[in-house]
Amino acid sequence: MPSANLVLVNDSSATLAASLTSAHYRGELVVDAELAQFTTWRIGGPAQLLASPTDPADLLLALRWARDKGVAWRVLGNGSNLLVRDDGVRGLVLRPRRALDTLQVDGSNVRAGAGASFPTLANLAASRGLSGLEFGAGIPGTVGGAVVMNAGWHEHELSRVVERVTFADRDGETSEVPASACAFGYRTSAFRGRPGIVLGCLLALTPDEPASVRARLDEYATQRRRGQPTELASCGSVFVKPPGDFAGRLIEQAGLKGERRGGIQVSAKHANFFVNLGGGTASDALALIEYVESEVEARLGVRLVREVEVW
């Protein structure tokens, strides 16, 4: 028998919301919130509870509430590397944009809250003449998502400028994790799949002429617009780069550019981007991903590995 205060995850959304509110949660709470509006692919069914806490204390309160009640929970950044299934997710989705949105510059260091926009951070650094984040202006995630994914562009990666990460574990206990313990790798880190919340990070940037930093940032943005279908909804690269090759090149070589399932299409501009032409669903996207995986393997003998995370 469950203990008296255990709120089962299949309790109705309204019951869960009432329980969290009575635990003195102060932030915004939306019941059965459609997640499509919170993902860059514009795809995704409802979350039972979507919580946007007011400040860090409110965020940790919600986290501890979920632990105490046995409610499943996840963290949503800007939803730019996510495919949320059409039937949505059970339990609590924590969206710490507002709770963790501070950016503080101190000399050549920047302390960045996990909820801040990564492009905003890159632009702030450029305006202060701090180099090291020029690649980030076109990566539409949050700082937290960029840390978890070790966001990067060509030879640039966020890990190169991270000094330490502030992390709250599933009990809400916070710690400072030095970069050497973050296990950064290609599009991964120690925080990927680890229960907890990245609260922020301390970055060490390199002073440079503001005009030079801005010129590099603008050049990367131009390259991106030229090579990627930035005008259409997507999750960025669907697959990680296979060793010594490019997923987009393999998909194109397999003759799959333009392949379409429902509203989702392999972009004619960049074959590793699957764009939502309007009305695309998670089922369409998954069907296309699975088809591309099996065709590339059958025709070229390479098993593509997904970068996009499926919820």
The residues annotated as belonging to the active site are 187, 237, 307
Interacting span for ligand FAD (CB under 6 A) from 21-29, 141-149, 248-256, 280-288? 141-149
Binder to ligand FAD among 198, 201, 288, 289 (CB under 6 A)?
198
Does position 282 interact with ligand FAD (CB under 6 A)? The reply is no
Window 72 to 91, contacts with ligand FAD (CB under 6 A): 74-82
Between 81 and 281, whose beta carbon lies closer to ligand FAD? 81
Give the count of beta carbons closer than 10 Å to the beta carbon of residue 192: 14
Does position 236 interact with ligand FAD (CB under 6 A)? The reply is yes
> What's the token pair of residue 190?
């120690």
Give the count of beta carbons closer than 10 Å to the beta carbon of residue 106: 8
Between 48 and 81, whose beta carbon lies closer to ligand FAD? 81
Does position 182 interact with ligand FAD (CB under 6 A)? The reply is no
Window 26 to 45, contacts with ligand FAD (CB under 6 A): 40
Does position 146 interact with ligand FAD (CB under 6 A)? The reply is yes
Contact 197, 169 (CB under 8 A): no
Binder to ligand FAD among 145, 172, 248, 280 (CB under 6 A)?
145
Interacting span for ligand FAD (CB under 6 A) from 143-151, 203-211, 250-258, 287-295? 143-151
Task: Give the Cα separation of 115 and 271 in Å (integer).
Answer: 30
The CB-of-2 to ligand FAD minimum distance in angstroms stands at 27
Binding site for ligand FAD (CB under 6 A): 40, 74-82, 96, 114, 139-142, 144-146, 148-149, 151-153, 187, 191, 197-198, 230, 234-236, 309
